Amino acid sequence: MRQYFQACTIEVAKRSIAKNDKSLELIHVSDNLFEDQHIINYGTMALVHFTQSETKREAAVRRAIISVVPDYFAWSVGDQERYRAAMPDEDRLRIRQVLLKILFEIKTTTSEDVEAALNSFNDEQHFLLNSTMLPLTGIGEDCLFLNECMAENTSLLDFETVYDYDYADHLFQESMRQKDDPAYIAKPYRGILYYRWARLHINGVFHYANLCLLAGYVNSKLEEFGFDKINEMIPHQYVDGKNHGKREGQGFIFAMRVDAGGLEAQLDELTERYYRYLSSRSEAILSDFDAKAPKRVYQVDVSREVEPHIDFIFTDTTALQAVRFRLFVKDCQAIKGDTEELEELIDKECQAAIGFLEQSHQDILTNFDPKVVKFRKKMKVVLTDAAAKDLL
C-alpha cells in the first residue's frame, strides 16, 4: 500500500513539472516523500497537492476501515476482497466521512453533508480522495474498481472476465426491451461495452479509465467530429426558448431551442441524416470486427493535467473474453494493440464522414423543402430544483 502512495505522488509531481506551465510554480518536492510535502501554486491560489505524506494517507485508510470493520485486517485476503467488492452503502458512507475529516478536515454527519462536500471539490481534491479510497474498494492485482451500478446482491467478483460482465448486461438490456415491447425481437450478442468508468492501479499508480468496445468508441469520435463539421456548414447555437426556466409544479421547464439564422429546418434535416449515417457505420464496424475477431485491446492515454487516465478499447468479444477483472492490466498487456491502427481507422471514418456531410449538405440546400414540416410528438421537460441548479 505504501509503495502505491509513493508511486502515485511521484507521478503527480512528474506530470506537474512536465506541463512547464508558467502559472504553475513547483515550490518544493521533498527528497523524502514519506515525511515532507510538495505544494503547487496556481497563480494567486495556493493549492495543496498531496500535502498528506504517504504514511498519513496509509494511516487514513487503515483508520477508516477499522472504524467501520474493526476486524478487517484479521480477515483472510479473500474475505477482505469480497467485502470490498460488495461493500454496503452505509459502510462506504462512513469510510468517506472518516477520509474527509482526515484528508481535508471536513466534518460531516449525514449523507447530504458528504454529497455537498464532494460537489464543492475540484479535480485535484477528487483525485486525492478517489486514489486514497481505491485500496478499500478495488479487486485483483490492479485494485480495479468499476464505477458502475450493480444488480442487488451482485459484485464485480461475480464476473470473471469483461465478457461475462458485458454479456450479462446485454441479456438484461434485451429483457427490459422485450418487457417494454412484447413484439421486440432480441438482438444477438456482439458486445455492447460502452464507456464504463473504472479506477485502477497501473504500475502502482492510480488511474481513471474507460472501458469501451471499438465500434462504440469510433462512433463517439465520429459523432463529435461530425457535429463540429455540421456547425461549420450551418452555424448555430442554443438559446432560451419562450418558457425556458419558468416554474412549473415542483420544478422548472427546460426549453432551449436552436437558432441557425433561419436555417433551422435544414440543420434538423442534416442532423437527422447524420444520425442515420452514424448508426449504419457503427453497425458496419461492429459486424466487421466481430467477423475478423482480431482480439486486441488498444490503450489510449487521455490524461489531463494531474489526472492519469487511460481508455481501454476492446476490438471484439474475443478480446472481452481474454481479459479477467482480477488480472486486468496483465491480460490487456498480453493482447495490446498498436494505437496507430486505431488512429488510422478513425481518420479513415472521419474522411468518409466529411464526404457524406458535404454531399448531404449540398443536396439539402438544393432540393430540401423547409416548408414540409415533419410530425413529431411534443415533449415537455421539467427539471427538479437540484438539476435546474446546474442547467438553468
How distant is the alpha carbon of residue 176 from its chain centre?
Answer: 24
Sequence ranges of the domains in the chain? 2-137, 157-391
Mapped to the 3 state alphabet, what secondary structure does the chain carry? Answer: CHHHHHHHHHHHHHHHHHHCCCCEEECCCCCCCCCCCCEEEECCEEEECCCCCHHHHHHHHHHHHHHHCCCHHHCCHHHHHHHHHCCCHHHHHHHHHHHHHHHHCCCCCCHHHHHHHHHCCCHHHHHHHHHHHHHHCCECCCCEEECCCCCCCCCHHHCCEHHHHHHHHHHHHHHHHHHHCCCCCCCCCCCCCCCEEEEEEECCEEEEEEEEEHHHHHHHHHHHHHHHHHHHHCCCEEEECCCCCCEECCEEEECEEEECCCCHHHHHHHHHHHHHHHHHHHHHHHHHHHHHCCCCEEEEECCECCECEEEEEECCHHHHHHCEHHHHHHHHHHCECCHHHHHHHHHHHHHHHHHHHHHHHHHHHHHCCCCCCCCCCCCCEEEEHHHHHHHC
Cα separations in angstroms, 166 against 142, 196, 215, 307, 319:
20, 10, 14, 27, 12
Cα separations in angstroms, 23 against 14, 39, 389:
16, 13, 31
Q: Is 143 exposed, middle or buried (0-12, 13-18, 19+ CB in 10 A)?
A: buried
Q: pTM of this prediction? A: 0.82
Torsion of CA 288, 161, 332, 222, to 10 degrees: 40
Q: What is the pLDDT of residues 165-186, one digit of tens each?
A: 999 999 999 999 999 999 999 9
Would you give per-residue pLDDT tens digits along the chain (392 residues)?
544 444 444 444 444 444 444 333 333 333 333 333 333 333 333 333 444 456 778 889 999 999 999 999 999 999 999 999 999 999 999 999 999 999 999 999 999 999 999 999 999 999 999 999 999 999 999 999 999 988 889 999 999 999 999 999 999 999 999 999 999 999 999 999 999 999 999 999 999 999 999 999 999 999 999 999 999 999 999 888 787 778 877 787 777 888 999 999 999 999 999 999 999 999 999 999 999 999 999 999 999 887 999 999 999 999 999 999 999 999 999 999 999 999 999 999 999 999 999 999 999 999 999 887 676 666 667 777 666 666 66
